[in-house]
């Protein structure tokens, strides 16, 4: 008996994204093919400026690819991707709303009443460990706490796809580990397809089921996909000590190193 084929949560088919005029424009990515199964955690790594975020924006519908097309659960994407949540690298909370208001407002487009939205937001802030900070405004919170609020704001809508653009980039090393573990716990409880962009290879391996490596831009391509078979549940700090972690790291770094050097050389060359 054949099970019906499951459509990928996100399918990028032959994507190219060019900024500016067709001829003179800058092509960020080219010939990208990527499929994320439902419940699969994919980390995308690559040198700076390789267009990793561009791919997320295309999957979110914030950016229309110049070539190719995006499918979400088998349906071609047009307009914004309503089934995805997006965690931005920069602060994206509304600064004029408290933590609680920022999270509860995410339920308003779903038609949830204000009282219920508040209750559920309170529960989510508890889950990300911010019970004591519900009435704080973003500027009164630390960088890590703001990310927790943003995480709760994204997850409360229960999106089927999570798009994350170097979400823990601005945080210090310890906070990153704590946030990584929090993310893994929340994800393990309710598995969604994840596209997680990072420039930190260790973070990518510690979190993901599969690491996708991109080449240096312009016209960046996918140059390798590496499954990560480390057992779950994982602890971000401890998994790094696992011998097979090193094995995977070496393998991926071998293909990534040349690209990082290429990107670095380009930046050097471009500098006046």
Partner 1 sequence: MNRMKLILLQLAVGIAFLLLWHVLTAYPILAPTRQTQFFFSTPLDVLARVWKEFASGEIWRHLGITLLETILAFAFGAGGGILFGFLFARRALLAAVFDPYIKAANALPRVVLAPIFALWFGLGIWSKVALGFTLVFFIVFFNVYQGVREVSPVVLANARMLGMNERQLLRHVYWPAALTWMFSSLHTSVGFALVGAVVGEYLGSSAGLGYKIHEAESVFDVTGVFAGMAILSIFVILIDAVVTFIERRLLVWHPSPSTNGQG
Residues at the interface with partner 1 (CB under 8 A): 60, 62, 80, 82, 84-86, 88, 90-98, 105-106, 108-110, 137-139, 150, 153, 157
Tokens of residue 166, six digits: 């170097």
Task: State which residue, 91 or 251, has the beta carbon closest to partner 1.
Answer: 91
The angle subtended at Cα 216 by Cα 211 and Cα 217, nearest 5°, is 120
CB of 250 to partner 1, least distance (A): 36
Q: Are 144 and 178 in contact (CB under 8 A)?
A: yes
- Taken in order 113, 119, 121, 127, the sign of the CA dihedral is negative
Q: What's the closest the beta carbon of residue 107 comes to partner 1, in angstroms? A: 9
- C-beta of 73 vs 137, nearer to partner 1: 137
What is the Cα–Cα distance from 7 to 38, expressed in whole angstroms? Answer: 8
**Least distance from partner 1 to the Cβ atom of residue 100, Å:** 12
CA dist 271 and 185 (Å) reads: 43
Residue number with CB closer to partner 1 (93 or 207): 93
123/135 with CB nearer partner 1: 135
Nearer to partner 1, 103 or 252 (CB): 103
Q: Smallest distance from the beta carbon of 22 to partner 1, in angstroms?
A: 24
Smallest gap from Cβ 109 to partner 1, in A, equals 4
Question: 61 vs 224, which CB is nearer to partner 1?
Answer: 61
DSSP string covering 9-70:
SEEEEEEEEEESSTTTSEEEEEEEEEEE-TT-EEEEE-STTSSHHHHHHHHHTSS--SEEEE
Number of neighbouring beta carbons within 10 Å of residue 181: 18
Alpha-carbon gap, residue 37 to 160, rounded angstroms: 11
Q: Which is nearer to partner 1, 69 or 157 (CB)?
A: 157
In what side-by-side order are the strands of the sheet with 26-36?
Answer: 26-36, 10-19, 67-72, 75-76
Q: In sequence order, what are the residues at sequence separation of 6 or more whose Cβ sits closer than 8 angstroms to the Cβ of residue 253?
A: 201
Q: How far is the CB of 134 from partner 1 (least distance, A)?
A: 14
Long-range CB pairs of 130-134 (<8 Å, 24+ gap) are: 130/99, 133/99, 134/98, 134/99, 134/100
Residue number, 110 or 232, with CB nearest to partner 1: 110
Sign of CA dihedral 247, 249, 252, 256: negative
Q: Give min distance, CB of 244 to partner 1, in A.
A: 36
Shortest CB 228 distance to partner 1, Å = 27
Q: Look up residue 102 and give its two tokens.
A: 């920022």
């Amino acid at each position: 008996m054949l099970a019906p084929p499951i459509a990928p949560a996100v399918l990028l088919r032959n994507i190219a994204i060019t900024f500016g005029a067709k001829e003179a424009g800058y092509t960020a990515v080219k010939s990208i093919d990527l499929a994320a199964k439902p419940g699969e955690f994919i980390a995308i790594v690559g040198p700076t400026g390789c267009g990793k975020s561009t791919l997320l924006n295309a999957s979110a519908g914030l950016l229309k690819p110049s070539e190719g097309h995006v499918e979400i659960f088998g349906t071609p994407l047009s307009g914004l991707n309503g089934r995805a949540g997006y965690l931005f690298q920069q602060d994206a909370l509304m600064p004029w709303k408290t933590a609680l208001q920022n999270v509860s407002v995410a339920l308003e487009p779903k038609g949830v009443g204000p009282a219920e939205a508040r209750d559920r937001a309170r529960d989510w802030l508890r889950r990300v460990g911010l019970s004591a900070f519900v009435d704080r405004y973003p500027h009164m919170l630390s960088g890590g706490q703001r990310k927790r609020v943003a995480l709760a704001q994204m997850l409360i809508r229960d999106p089927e796809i999570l798009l994350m653009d170097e979400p823990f980039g601005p945080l210090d090393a310890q906070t990153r580990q704590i946030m990584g573990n929090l993310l893994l716990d929340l994800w393990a409880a309710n598995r969604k397809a994840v596209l997680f962009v990072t420039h930190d290879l260790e973070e990518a391996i510690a979190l993901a089921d599969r690491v996708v490596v991109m080449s240096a831009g312009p016209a960046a391509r996918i140059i390798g996909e590496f499954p990560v078979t480390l057992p779950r549940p994982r602890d971000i700090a401890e998994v790094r000590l696992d011998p097979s972690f090193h094995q995977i790291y070496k393998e991926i770094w071998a293909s990534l190193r040349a690209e990082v050097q290429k990107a670095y050389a380009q930046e050097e060359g471009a500098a006046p």
